[in-house]
C-alpha cells in the first residue's frame, strides 16, 4: 500500500527555521516525483514544487522559488520542505503528494497519493 506520512504540526516564531518531512512507503521512492502543496487557512490549493528523489532534480513554482527549499534523502525514503526564516504568512497546511502514473504514462506535476498534511503556525 502506497503511503506518505508527514511530520507533525509545528508552532514557530517569525524568523525561525523549519524543515518538515514526508516519508514514502509501499513503492519505489526513487522512481516517482514528490510534490508539495500549500493551503493557507480557508484558502485554495497552491502548487509549490516537486523533486525527483532518484537524482534530486527539483522544480519550483515561480511563486515559491527562493522562498522554500525542497530536498530528499533517498536512503530513508523521505522528502523535505524547509524554510530558513519563517514569516506569519507561511502559516498554512502543507501537503506532500506523489506523482500520478498510469498505463506507463507518468505526470510529474499531477498527484494521486497524498500525505495527511502538516499544519505550520507562525506567530509571535
Q: In this complex, which beta carbon is closest to another protein, that of residue 54 or of residue 108?
A: 108
Site residues for another protein, 85-104, by CB under 8 A, read 95, 100, 102
Residues in contact with 31: Cβ distance below 8 Å, sequence separation at least 6, in sequence order: 54
Q: What 3-state class would DSSP assign to 93? A: strand
Q: In this complex, which beta carbon is closest to another protein, that of residue 60 or of residue 80?
A: 60
Q: In this complex, which beta carbon is closest to another protein, that of residue 87 or of residue 107?
A: 107
Please give the Cα distance from 72 to 49 (Å, whole number): 13
The answer to whether 48 and 68 have CB atoms below 8 angstroms apart is yes
Site residues for another protein, 5-44, by CB under 8 A, read 35, 37, 44
Binding residue (CB under 8 A) for another protein from 61, 67, 69, 121: 61
Amino acid at each position: 500500500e502506497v503511503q506518505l506520512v508527514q511530520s507533525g504540526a509545528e508552532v514557530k516564531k517569525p524568523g525561525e527555521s523549519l524543515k518538515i518531512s514526508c516519508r514514502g512507503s509501499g513503492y519505489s521512492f526513487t522512481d516517482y516525483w514528490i510534490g508539495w502543496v500549500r493551503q493557507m487557512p480557508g484558502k485554495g490549493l497552491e502548487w509549490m514544487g516537486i523533486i525527483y528523489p532518484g537524482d534530486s532534480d527539483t522544480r519550483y513554482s515561480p511563486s515559491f522559488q527562493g522562498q522554500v527549499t525542497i530536498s530528499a534523502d533517498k536512503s530513508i525514503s523521505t522528502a523535505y520542505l524547509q524554510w530558513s526564516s519563517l514569516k506569519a504568512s507561511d502559516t498554512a497546511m502543507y501537503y506532500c503528494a506523489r506523482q500520478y502514473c498510469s498505463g506507463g504514462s507518468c505526470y510529474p506535476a499531477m498527484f494521486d497519493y497524498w500525505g495527511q498534511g502538516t499544519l505550520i503556525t507562525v506567530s509571535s
